Amino acid sequence: MEPLVVAIPGDGGRAGPLARQIGGEVAETEIRSFPDGETYVRIKTPVKDREVLIVASLDRPDAAFMRTYFAAETARDLGADAVGLVAPYMPYLRQDARFRDGEGVTSRYFSALVSETFDWLVTVDPHLHRLGDLAEIYSVPVEVVSAAGPIADWIAEHVDDPVLVGPDEESRQWVSAVAERRDFPSLILEKTRRGDYDVEIRDGDLGEIADHDPVVVDDIISTGRTMVEAARRLVEGGFDAPVCLGIHGLFADDALSALREVGVERIATTDTVPHDTNAIEVTGPIVEGSRRMIGGDTTSISVASGCSGSG
Ligand code: R5P
């Protein structure tokens, strides 16, 4: 039977294109909150003996995950053959260690919850730093797909003479993955993070990249302070304000206005997290990853690209 795609509200409209490209059907559902905030889930399309893909945008996971979890349990209860999670942005990967006494290692707790709920998982460029591989904390098969190709294509089309700038050591792997696609030059800066909004960036040798158009590339834009400080360094070094490119644009609080304040005009993100800055589509890699998972051939865990960092 054709796979059934269940969209969690806020999925950014990905369920339709994904269903079309994998030869599946989008489920008719009713997923909403009761007036007191509890979640109501109904899957109206028949589920029995079908592989179900739950598509969820987990950028604000504390709210979204309850719906995602209930949808998965409902599908299983209704007789789904298997239930997979398509989460273009995988949250809870930065608190991957106990940095201070008494802290919870939430990446492990969250991955345990997901692994108990789903049979497999597809995601895009997860934030791996101290972890080398999602398989270290996820016990179900995981297909990691890379946004590097679409990002490199976008840069080649929109920036005249690009040089990729990574704001910190952790960004090196994404920068390298994108740079390799088109032979872009690159430079990695140094970052110290003292708090959520307290970031310091030190220059690498900006002389090396003179005469190029800088594109700061990072995996996550959250408070935006990493991008802000990288942009500030480049402007102080005599460059025009850079293009800022994030794989996952979370844009917490005043991130966007803080970037505008340092003169950044061009901000591009992939559509893993629905946002006005989305300019780079990654449905293609997600479809490929989902195809590899559908049908139960989930005996091997494939990691197509890696990432890093808690800063
Ligand atoms: C950490 O190393 C990550 O790769 C990002 O640099 C970080 O999450 C960005 O966070 P923010 O936008 O809050 O500076």
For 273-297, the pLDDT digits (tens) are 999 999 999 999 999 999 999 986 5
Q: Among 219, 247, 273, 305, which residue has the most ligand 1 atoms within 8 Å of its CB, making it the best to mutate?
A: 219
Per the residue annotation, which of 14, 50, 127, 191 is the catalytic one?
A: 191
Ligand 1 center to residue 38 CA distance, Å?
Answer: 32
Residue 90's pLDDT is 98
Ligand 1 center to residue 251 CA distance, Å?
Answer: 11
Ligand 1 center to residue 31 CA distance, Å?
Answer: 32
Ligand 1 pocket by C-beta < 6 Å: which residues? 168, 170-171, 199, 218-226, 309, 311
Q: Which two tokens stand for residue 240?
A: 């025009």
Residue 296's pLDDT is 67
Specify the ligand 1 atom closest to the Cα of 222. 12
Residue 301's pLDDT is 44
Q: Which residues of the chain have pLDDT under 50?
A: 298-310
Residue 205's pLDDT is 83
- In the residue annotation, 48 being an active-site residue is answered as no
